[in-house]
Structure 1
Amino acid sequence: MKDTRTRNEALCDAVKEACLTYDQLAADIRRTAAESGTILRTNSSAVTHWAAGRPPAPGTAGYIAEALSRRLGRHITPVDLGWTDPEHRADRAGAALGTSVGPDPIDIVRRLGEADINRRQIITAAAYSVAAAALPLGTAQAAEACLRAATTAGGHVGAADIAAVRAMLQAFTRIDERQGGQHGRTAVVQYLRSDVADLTRGRFATETDRNDALGTAAAVTYLCGWKAYDAGEHGLAQRYYLQAVALARESDHPAHEAWILRTQANSAMGISRPEHTLDLADAALSLTEGRVSPGYLSLFVITRARALALAGRGPEAAAEIRRAQDLVLRKNESTEELPFWASVWTSRNTANVATNAAKTLVSLRDHANAERHYTTAASTFDRVAGKARVTALSLSDLGREQAAQGHLEQACSTWGRALDYFEGINSDQAAKQVTGIRRQLQAFERRGVGAATHLDHRARDWQLAHA
């Protein structure tokens, strides 16, 4: 029987505009899906079928649209590519949840949380959106009156209620630092959807109480975003972060908004999506310079250094590393108090600056100095109780830099320590680090490094235990 499908001109035009072959587009789609933990087998034959008029699965359509968005430098949706049937439209509506800042971020957070808990694939496996990464840079909270009205609908909320939520936030975060982001994840999301959302709907005696409640909600939303990021669900993490920015902005705490923008930049760099990261780092810095303490400011300066390095601006990146280090030296550990939204995550600016300085130097291919900074970070985190996760990650990175310089036995020793700390940690970041360690160890074995075989067996056992 003759195939009566109509050629998909919208898709063909987009591919032509992007100057891509079908093989290249297929590779882009596979990479985009892999960022969210989805393994696709897309090849040029699949693209040929789509171009001829056969629609892809709705979930795949989102990855195709994002891959072309990145190539064309503008936001593309599945509908733009000619997939207008009800199934794709319904899926597109779900996939768009949280990718914009609307008049009521709490409502969006509730719906995101429901999709998260119920493991709706269209949300949990969503691609990281390069276009959405730029949203905080140009989005004003235009619907302030709407959100203000929504935050006066419930019972009376006072300082004690806000303090109780902050105490829960600290408890959840401590668990993450010890055991990884997947421990208690559902509980945190449910807490956000119920207790925290209800908190923001209350009646407040003062404007300060209202702002503190919104800021606390932003911090818990941020934690949900971090947990999604630690699970490798980067599209979902991005959606939580965008709503956290909206809440922080409405709480009238510019430094809190800056904290989340900084994390968005670092997260994007962590998954090799540097687009807009320098703009995000600059926006965060503009909200903090002249307004915060030296130690807190150092965290924003070092993020900018990392973004500059990825933008190919090495000398400027090196200068920002030095500026961040100078700011750390100026801070007073005994008197400098971080805001609550930062203090639950970091109490050691020295280690955080060292970690990001090392990442910057890796981009600049300065492995010796990257090793030195990772050593500082690992030893500093190691001295703080309850920092097993970040200590393990620092040691993994340290071993990689030692290996890059040919110090193979030393790298094996460092990775052995990392595996000690990784024990009991449930984290996609940890799993990827151990996979990377094993990949390098197999090369070491072929070169006759004695410690590599035993360590590879340990790493394999860790993978089996944490599968």
Structure 2
Amino acid sequence: MLRRLGEADIQRRSFLTNAAYSVAAAALPLGIEEAIERGQRGQHTGPRAGRAEIEAVRDMTDLFTRIDERHGGQHGRTAVVQYLRSDVADLCRATFASDEDRAEALSAAASVAYLCGWKAYDASEHGLAQRYYLQAYALTREAGDDLHAAWILRILAHNGMDIRRPESTLELADAALARIKGKAAPATESLFAITRARALANAGRGKEAARQVRAAQDLVLSGSADELPVWAARWGSPRATVASHTAKTFHALGDHANAERHYAASARNRPRTGHERITALTLAAQGREQAAQGHVEAACGSWGKSLDLLNGVRSARAVDEVAGIRRQLAVFGRRGMRAAHDLDERARIWQAAHAA
């Protein structure tokens, strides 16, 4: 039942963006899709592969993810896509000594497809991102890895909320949490619980969202980051992630004070180095919540810290964020606020340096 629900959710046409897929979609690694089809027919005719090849893909995924987190999604994007089309597609075609090895290889391939989707999302190519996520989902399903498949449903839910297309996101979040509940450690489950909280808030179900937030917080506080499976651990501290999505939940509910508080907690729970892009975006969001409450000096302080961290980051989301900061600073600048003028000049210089 849950499997059919998840599949129905992600195939719904209304969930996809109205924008056409990027031209880059034509270059998707169809060899992987063909490899899945051959696997379903029991045809494995490629060269033999084993643990060493699987670990190599995992190590490369770790490396590419660290670069993404530090420098933004557009650094190394072509290399990751080419890696998916070549080495990873070859791994999916390979012959393995056991079904377990083949399943782990497909799960490793799914993580690379997921990263490609994340990079497309970071470039604001949302239709392409969803196609990559769907490909990652197909790989996890073929691997028989229900927990990893739930992780893909989770990102699809967040993607829908981020691009303001929430039509199917609550169903996706429900399906993801149902698959993971009782089968994963508390820290892992917390990441799914907070996704559902955010989806409830976006659906206008505030009281249920608040209860789900408390459940997610209880889970993450009782768990440990060491318990996370590899496909979740790559993306940083569960406490920081839960705090960030708690802030987004409160933002959807119009509670700017609580949103500000949880964005601040998220930034505190991330390492000082290695996660510059997400920390910078979190601080920028914190500044928005401060500005919404009329705390202009505090907002300028948060935005200034965000700009410090964005130096050298290549990300369409960062470009959009800085443009949004400048729009708000223009309002404050017209009121004669010197700090707003100075910060706007810094933001203008950043935009000039990061123009496409």
Q: Quick check: TM above 0.5?
A: yes
Aligned to 1:169: 61
Counterpart position of 1:353: 242
Post-superposition Cα deviations, 1:345-374, rounded to whole Å, max 9, x if no partner, equal 22x111000000000000100001111000
TM-score normalized with structure 1 length: 0.69
Task: Give 1:188's aligned residue.
Answer: 80
Structure possessing the higher radius of gyration over alpha carbons: 1
How far the C-alpha of 1:450 sits from its partner, in A, is 1.8
AA at the equivalent of 2:229? P
Structure 1 counterpart of 2:224, from 318, 332, 337: 332
C-alpha distance in structure 1 between counterparts of 2:29 and 2:102, whole Å = 14
Q: Is the 8 Å Cα contact of residues 247 and 258 (structure 2) preserved in structure 1?
A: yes
Indicate if the aligned counterparts of 1:97 and 1:108 stay in contact, CA closer than 8 A: no
Q: Deviations over 1:413-445 (max 9, x none)?
A: 110000000110000110010000000000001
Supply the AA of the counterpart residue of 2:232. Answer: A
Amino acid at match of 2:143: S
Aligned in 2, Cα 1:145/1:237: closer, same or farther, shift over 3 Å? Answer: closer
For 2:84 and 2:146, the matched residues in 1 are separated by 22
* Alpha carbons 2:136, 2:152 under 8 Å: kept: yes
CA deviations on 1:260-317 (whole Å, 9 max, x unpaired) are: 1101111111111111000110110111001000000000000000000010100000
Q: Which has the higher contact order (CA 8 A, sep 6+)?
A: 2
Report the equivalent of 2:149.
Answer: 257
Retained in 2: the 8 A contact 1:258–1:287? yes
1:16-165 correspondence runs (5 A) = 107=30, 146-149=38-41, 152-165=44-57
- 1:309 equivalenced with 2:232 (yes/no): no
Q: Tell me the equivalent position of 1:441.
A: 329
What one-letter code is carried by the residue in structure 1 that aligns with 2:248?
K
Shift of 1:146: 3.8
Match of 2:254 in 1: 365
SS of corresponding position for 1:291: coil
Matching residue of 1:269? 161
SS of residue in 1 equivalent to 2:170: helix
* Distance in 2 of aligned mates of 1:332 and 1:339: 11
The Cα of 1:328 is off from its aligned counterpart by: 0.9
Which residue of 71, 90, 93 corresponds with 1:201?
A: 93
* Residue 466 (structure 1) aligned with residue 346 (structure 2): no
Distance 1:96 1:231, change over 3 A: closer
On the 8 A contact 1:262/1:300 being kept in 2, the answer is: yes
Shift of 1:144: 7.3
SS state at 1:220 partner: helix
Tell me if the contact between 2:32 and 2:92 (Cα under 8 Å) persists in the aligned partners.
no
Which of 399, 402, 410 is matched with 2:290 structurally? 402
Structure-1 separation of matches of 2:33 and 2:308: 38
| Matched residue type, 1:312 | G
TM superposition shift of 1:149: 4.2
Length, aligned pairs only? 342
Shift of residue 338, structure 1, vs aligned partner = 1.4
How many angstroms apart in 1 are the aligned matches of 2:201 and 2:52? 44
Q: Which runs of 4+ in 1 moved over 3 A?
A: 94-98, 108-111, 143-146, 148-151
Please give the alpha-carbon distance, in whole angstroms, between the structure 1 residues aligned to 2:24 and 2:311: 35
How large is the RMSD of aligned CA atoms in angstroms? 2.5
SS in 2 for 1:447: coil
Kindly tell me: are residues 172 and 74 of structure 1, through their superposed partners in 2, closer, same or farther at Cα, counting changes over 3 Å? closer
**Where do residues 421-432 of structure 1 align in structure 2 (5 Å cutoff)?**
421-432=309-320
Given the superposition, is the C-alpha separation of residues 409 and 317 from structure 1 closer, same or farther in structure 2, using an over 3 Å criterion? same
The letter of the residue matching 2:227 is: E
Structure 2 partner of 1:343: 233
State the 1:342 CA deviation. 1.2
CA distance in 1, matches of 2:345, 2:61: 37
Contact 2:200/2:206 (<8 A) preserved? yes
Partners in 2 of 1:210 and 1:144 — Cα distance?
Answer: 11
Q: Is the 8 A contact 1:177 1:388 kept in 2?
A: yes
Matches within 5 A, 1:383-398: 383-398=271-286
Structure-2 separation of matches of 1:293 and 1:74: 30
- Cα distance in 1, alignment partners of residues 344 and 252 from structure 2: 27
* 1:109 CA displacement: 5.2
What is the SS of the residue equivalent to 1:287?
Answer: helix
Unaligned 5+ runs, structure 2: 1-11
Whole-Å Cα distance in 1 between the matches of residues 249 and 31 of structure 2?
A: 35
Q: Is the 8 A contact 1:358 1:374 kept in 2?
A: yes
Tell me by how many angstroms 1:74 deviates.
10
Q: Kindly indicate whether the alpha-carbon contact (under 8 Å) linking 2:31 and 2:89 is maintained by their aligned counterparts in 1.
A: no
TM-score (norm. length: structure 2): 0.90
**Aligned-pair distance for 1:329?**
1.4
What residue in structure 1 maps to residue 171 of structure 2?
279
Q: Cα deviations across residues 26-52 of structure 1 (Å, max 9, x unaligned)?
A: xxxxxxxxxxxxxxxxxxxxxxxxxxx
**C-alpha distance in structure 2 between counterparts of 1:186 and 1:74, whole Å:** 27
The structure-2 alpha-carbon separation of the partners of 1:226 and 1:329, relative to structure 1 and needing over 3 Å to count, comes to same
Report % sequence identity: 57
1:204, distance to aligned residue in structure 2 (A): 0.5
Report if the CA contact (8 A) 1:151-1:200 is conserved. Answer: no
**What is the one-letter code of the residue matched to 1:167?**
D
